[in-house]
Amino acid sequence: MNLALFDFDGTITTREMYVDFVRHAIGPKRFALGRVRLAPHYLAYRMRLLSGSSIRAKIVAIGFTGMSETEARNAGESFAQTVLPQVLRPVAMERIAWHKERGDRVVVVSGGLETYLEHWCRTHEVDLLGSRLAVRDGRLTGLYDGEQCVGPEKVRRVRERYPESDYDCIYAYGDTHEDLAMLEMAQHQTYRWQSA
């Protein structure tokens, strides 16, 4: 059996979906207020003074602190059902189907939030390794539960759950520098839908 590892945002979808999900989950008023609070951090990010992981952590803190776990889960399910189908890349969906037909294990390995990805992955019958939001007493804390699933953390999680020795061959698909470490562990590498 082979292992097929897919980044989600920008690889399976036509664009990054992180901010779209935040807007969907917290509503327009809270989103607008959050943009004001986030503005100096976003400027630092655009000036390359703040990493992608850092800006995502700020977004989570501003957008999700105090939201009920149930509300977040419901928002994730509705986002997966109503928004994600509109932004899927046909080439990605064809490739996932190809791997499944061959009997390969297909895993979405994403820095995106499991809050919405778990619903999409369950619908499409693929495994998931993603970024999780921390919960205390039924409410989101505004922090991540563990590390964001990006860069070397993608490789660590894959190796922990899917030891390379269990598979004949590894395929990996990605579109940003945060996917490069995962691509390096594969015999067949596809970057931005070009063979690497």
Q: Per DSSP, what are the bridge partners of residue 172?
A: 5, 189
Best CA proximity match to 84, nearest among 40, 39, 122:
122
What stretches in the chain show pLDDT beneath 70?
Answer: none
17-44 tens-digit pLDDT = 999 999 999 999 888 988 999 999 989 9
What pLDDT does residue 196 have?
73
Q: What pLDDT is recorded for position 195?
A: 87
pLDDT of residue 110: 98
Nearest to 55 by CA among 63, 29, 141: 63
Going from N- to C-terminal start, the domains of the chain cover 3-195
Residue 30 has what pLDDT?
87
Beta strands 133-136 and 127-131, pairing class: unpaired
CATH number of 3-195: 3.40.50.1000
Q: Which pLDDT belongs to residue 33?
A: 87
